Amino acid sequence: MLLKKLSEAFGPSGCEGDVRNVLLEELTPYVQEWQRDALGNLIAVKPHPRGPRVMLAAHMDECGLMVSSIDRSGLLRFRKVGGIDDRVLVSKHVVIGPKKISGIIGAKAIHLQKPEERSQVIPLSGLYIDIGAKSKEDAEKLVKIGDYAVFATEYKALSDTVVVGKSFDNRAGCAILAEILKEDFALDLFGAFTVQEEVGLRGAGVAAYGISPDLAIVLEGTTCNDLPPSKEHGYCTTLGGGPALTAMDASVICDKAMIGELLRLAKENDIPIQFKRSITGGSDGGRINQTKDGIPVVVISVPCRYIHSPVSMLSLTDFNHTLQLVKLFLTSIAEGGFTR
């Protein structure tokens, strides 16, 4: 299954090669023309003589860690790449570098901690990755400074509809975009798998500059906190509540005409839909929107619980509804039923 392959692929910001390879392998039978730009964005081009020029974007990168030094004892010190909560790091299994070396994020055992240490989050300086090496020399045979690490999490189904895995933010978006690219629409279509979103929306802007689309649709896996102690009006999104539209986030106000059309299509086709209720955080949409002389954007997300942690959770029903809605939207644009 593609979502499983993508979820398990190694792809922290700036090191998205494995994800790119999974996508290329999956889509080669369906896509004739590919572009790869200087930042590593992978762009599937499906040209069509009739416009408009539509950019679909999903970021491939995930949050991860980077080895910053190796102790004499062979323990690896690291920095974060992207926004990971320090509290989720301790005792997690990670894989490191091109050789996919296994390691454990270690810290002082609870028996040895002073009372005041127990009441605090262990700072990054108190954490290390233990790969079982006996010395610096021993460790250097397996890893080097600058190597990335990501959580070692296997994809798993908890029920017919609920699945867990790492980095559904944004492998869910990548999987949806890949499924869309397997079909043909009467549109000048550019499917951009972007890089370095988690460190500052860096890939999407240059991809949009190169493509110069008339409009853009960003596909995301977004925060979902439909859980205690939040009150309902504080839920960001609800698992099982359908695709989540962004009206506004910290980086963009989405195009009202496109949102209106998505709401219409959802209603007409009995697809549940929700609005994201949080405006914190940005998205690739912001960077694309501000490219050149302006590009109208919508952001459509699959709600994912526990993102930016070792394991995230999504509903396949939401996933399939999101895919269905985006296809309907593209068809509507292609048929000229929707114009801005």
Partner 1 sequence: MKDLIKRVVETYGPAGNERRIRELLQSEIAPFVDEMRIDALGNLIALKRGGGKKLMLAAHMDEIGVMVTHIDKNGFLRFYPVGGLSPLTLLGNRVVFENGTVGVIGAEKLEAQKDLTLHKLFIDIGATSKEEAETKVGLGDVAAMMREFADLGKRLVAKAMDDRIACAILVEALKEVKHAAYDIYAVFTTQEEVGLRGARVAAYGITPDLGIAVDVTRTGDTPEAMVMDVSLGQGPTVKIRDSSLICTPSVRKFMEEVAVQNGIKYQLEVLEAGGTDAGAIQLTKGGIPAGVMSIPCRYIHTASEMVDYDDVLNGVKLLTHIMETEFKG
Catalytic, out of 8, 16, 197, 261 = 197
Using the rule CB under 8 A, is 49 a contact of partner 1?
no
Of residues 296, 308, 320, 327, which one binds partner 1 by CB under 8 A?
296
For residue 123, give the DSSP letter: P
The counts of H helices and E strands in the chain are 9, 17
Binding residues for partner 1 restricted to 152-211, rule: CB under 8 A: none
For residue 232, indicate whether it is catalytic: no
Cβ-based nearer residue to partner 1, 72 or 233 = 233
Write the single-letter amino acid at 58.
A
CA-to-CA dists, residue 97 to 15, 267, 315, angstroms:
10, 47, 31
Using the rule CB under 8 A, is 88 a contact of partner 1?
no
Binding mask 217-256 for partner 1 (x = CB under 8 A): ---------------xxx----------x-xx--x-x--x
Using the rule CB under 8 A, is 268 a contact of partner 1?
no
Of residues 267, 292, 335, 336, which one binds partner 1 by CB under 8 A?
292
Q: How far apart are CA 162 and CA 175, in angstroms?
A: 16
Cβ-based nearer residue to partner 1, 126 or 282 = 282
Using the rule CB under 8 A, is 2 a contact of partner 1?
no
Q: How far apart are CA 307 and CA 164, in angstroms?
A: 11
Residue 248 gets the label, from left (phi > 0), alpha (psi -120 to 50) or beta, of beta
Minimum separation from the CB atom of position 289 to partner 1 (A): 7
Of residues 38, 111, 294, 339, which one binds partner 1 by CB under 8 A?
294
Residues with Cβ within 8 Å of residue 134, at least 6 apart in sequence: 74
Q: For 91-187, where are the E strands, in sequence order? A: 93-96, 101-106, 128-130, 148-151, 156-157, 162-165
Pick the stretch among 77-85, 123-131, 288-296, 316-324 that binds partner 1 (CB under 8 A): 288-296
Minimum separation from the CB atom of position 270 to partner 1 (A): 18
Report the DSSP pairing between strands 101-106 and 128-130.
antiparallel
Cβ-based nearer residue to partner 1, 145 or 250 = 250
Q: How far apart are CA 272 and CA 211, in angstroms?
A: 32
Using the rule CB under 8 A, is 290 a contact of partner 1?
yes
Q: How far apart are CA 244 and CA 307, in angstroms?
A: 15
Residues binding partner 1: what is the number (CB under 8 A)?
A: 21
Q: Is 116 exposed, middle or buried (0-12, 13-18, 19+ CB in 10 A)?
A: exposed
Q: Name the strand (E) or helix (H) holding 265.
A: helix 256-268
Report which of 304, 246, 306 is spatially closest to residue 273, judged by C-alpha positions.
246
Pick the stretch among 75-83, 101-109, 272-280, 320-328 that binds partner 1 (CB under 8 A): 272-280
Cβ-based nearer residue to partner 1, 290 or 332 = 290
Of residues 39, 186, 279, 313, which one binds partner 1 by CB under 8 A?
279
Q: How far apart are CA 280 and CA 36, in angstroms?
A: 31
Using the rule CB under 8 A, is 275 a contact of partner 1?
yes
Q: How far apart are CA 326 and CA 250, in angstroms?
A: 23
Please identify which residue in the block is written with the tokens 């802007």. Answer: 205
Q: How far apart are CA 138 and CA 76, in angstroms?
A: 12
Minimum separation from the CB atom of position 55 to partner 1 (A): 13
Minimum separation from the CB atom of position 232 to partner 1 (A): 7
Pick the stretch among 85-93, 183-191, 193-201, 274-282 that binds partner 1 (CB under 8 A): 274-282
Using the rule CB under 8 A, is 99 a contact of partner 1?
no
Minimum separation from the CB atom of position 284 to partner 1 (A): 15
- Residues forming the active site: 197
- Contacting positions for partner 1 (CB under 8 A): 232-234, 245, 247-248, 251, 253, 256, 259, 275, 277, 279, 289-296
